[in-house]
């Protein structure tokens, strides 16, 4: 199951993506056992957000973590100072 939430958390807009999979930490542990593939998704996202933040007065932050309410992953994106 995938849930997408968008809400105002002044002074930011927050986008949350929640799933009910195995969780972020467990997924990382399982990928450690398979060393033939290196995922670049988080690296690319971090780089693009950094480029955006250098060019705009708005700021974006993000994070990935295990859900606290049940099994799964929570990804959050905060956009600050929207003009």
Contact predicate 61/80, CB 8 Å: yes
Give 70 or 13, the one with higher predicted confidence: 13
pLDDT per position as a tens digit, 2-59:
999 999 998 999 999 999 887 666 666 666 666 666 678 888 999 999 999 999 999 9
User: b/e string for 43-71 if b means 16 or more Cβ within 10 A?
Assistant: eeeeeeeeeeeeeeeeebeeebeeeeeee
- So what's the pLDDT on residue 33? 60
pLDDT per position as a tens digit, 49-69:
999 999 999 999 999 888 888
């Amino acid at each position: 199951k995938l849930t997408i939430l968008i809400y105002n958390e002044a002074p930011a807009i927050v986008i949350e993506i929640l799933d009910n999979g195995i969780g972020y930490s467990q997924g990382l542990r399982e990928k450690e056992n398979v060393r033939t593939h290196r995922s670049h998704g988080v690296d690319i996202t971090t780089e693009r957000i950094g480029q955006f933040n250098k060019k705009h007065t708005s700021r974006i932050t993000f994070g990935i973590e295990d859900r606290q309410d049940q099994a799964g992953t929570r990804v959050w994106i905060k956009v600050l100072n929207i003009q």
